[in-house]
Amino acid sequence: MALPAHKAAGVRPAAPVALLVLAGIGAAFFLIPLIGLVLRTPWTAIWDQLRSPEVLTALRLSLLASLSATAIALVVGVPLAWTLARLTFPGRAVLRAVTVLPMVLPPVVGGVALLLAFGRRGLLGGWLATTFGVHLPFTTAGAILAETFVAMPFLVITVEAGLRSMDSRFEDAARTLGASRWTVLWRVTLPLVRPSLVAGAVLCWARALGEFGATITFAGNFPGRTQTMPLAVYLALETNPDAAIVLSLVLLAVSLAVLIGLRDRWLGSS
């Protein structure tokens, strides 16, 4: 490009020193805790720690709960995203607000709300207990429910955005070829929004894996039943700091993997 030299140089403004210093402090604020975590990791004992029953139990439970939460979110969250993206009806804005509220709601408040809904004397809890004999609070199912509550919005908004940006004329084309609404959904719509589905599910799973507040409030902290990794980390910090650090490191590794996996979506290439 034949730009005059002074113009080309003008594209990059001179940075005020004060701004750079503040930016450095901001970056250090993120970086130093991570360095601390890595430096304090008992690398030699890491394998033993990972195989210790309390870490393994928490790990196993966390995987079960977060994957179940993701599965539930896929089953009901994708239809919800489709409804929000494709249908116009009164109250759609309210429905969307309700759907994404858990993203900004303090998770503890979510836990309290879940107790009031599914607790022994909750809105549905009593009926669930007497009709089906189902008790959700302080059970693994309860932990899954709490994680779903907090994590599903990530899936819903990601998939909804994918559905909105998709060219819906592909669906028209499928219908003129004789595809029923279900066939269109399964063979055209969902395959075309697959990147959004994958990203949404991964985000949802990562959020579920890290869930703490709603889980401990609604499901409690019972090892093997409701004590997921974040809860175990919190508890182990006083009794067995090495286990806490190793568990934290596992969660950090998962977060990094998610970030790298979704880098095209979030970090961009520029």
Partner 1 sequence: MRLGIGSFELDVDLKVEPGEVVAVLGPNGAGKTSILRGLAGLLPLDVGRVALDGVVLEEPVASVFVPSERRPIGMVFQDYLLFPHLTVVDNIAFGLRSRGTPRPAATTTARQWLERVGLAAEAERKPGSLSGGQAQRVALARALATNPALLLLDEPMAALDASTRVELRRDLRRHLESFRGVRLLVTHDPVEAMAMADRLVILEHGRVLQSGTPAEVTQRPRSRYVADLVGVNLFRGRASSNVITIAGGGSLMATGASDGEVFAVVHPRTVALYRTRPDGTPRNVWEGRAVDLDFEGDRVRVRLEGTPAIVAEVTPAAVRELSLDRGDPVWVAVKATEINVYPA
Q: Which residue from 86, 75, 218, 81 is spatially nearest to 146, judged by alpha carbons?
A: 218
Shortest gap between Cβ of 184 and partner 1 (angstroms)?
8
Among 135, 164, 175, 265, binds partner 1 (CB under 8 A): 175
The CA distance from 268 to 117, in Å, is: 41
Is residue 173 a contact point for partner 1 (CB under 8 A)? yes
Among 194, 257, 260, 266, binds partner 1 (CB under 8 A): 194
Among 15, 90, 169, 270, binds partner 1 (CB under 8 A): 169
Show the binding pattern over residues 139-168: x = contacts partner 1 (CB under 8 A), - = does not: ----------------------------x-
The CA distance from 3 to 81, in Å, is: 47
Q: Do residues 209 and 62 lie in contact, with contact meaning Cβ atoms separated by under 8 Å?
A: yes
Q: Which residue from 36, 32, 93, 77 is spatially nearest to 207, judged by alpha carbons?
A: 77
Which range of residues in 9-17, 58-66, 87-95, 172-180 is near partner 1 by CB under 8 A? Answer: 172-180
Q: Is 30 in a helix, a strand, or coil? A: helix
Is residue 188 a contact point for partner 1 (CB under 8 A)? yes
Q: Do residues 66 and 232 lie in contact, with contact meaning Cβ atoms separated by under 8 Å?
A: no
Is residue 172 a contact point for partner 1 (CB under 8 A)? yes
Shortest gap between Cβ of 159 and partner 1 (angstroms)?
16
Total chain residues near partner 1 (CB under 8 A)? 18
Which range of residues in 104-112, 119-127, 175-183, 240-248 is near partner 1 by CB under 8 A? Answer: 175-183
Burial track 182-192 (b if 16+ CB lie within 10 A, e otherwise)? eebbeebbbeb
The CA distance from 137 to 219, in Å, is: 5
Residue 145 or residue 159: which is nearer to partner 1 going by CB? Answer: 159
User: Strand ranges (DSSP E) for 219-262?
Assistant: none
Which range of residues in 50-58, 183-191, 247-255, 257-265 is near partner 1 by CB under 8 A? Answer: 183-191
Which residues are near partner 1 by CB under 8 A?
167, 169-170, 172-180, 183, 187-188, 191-192, 194
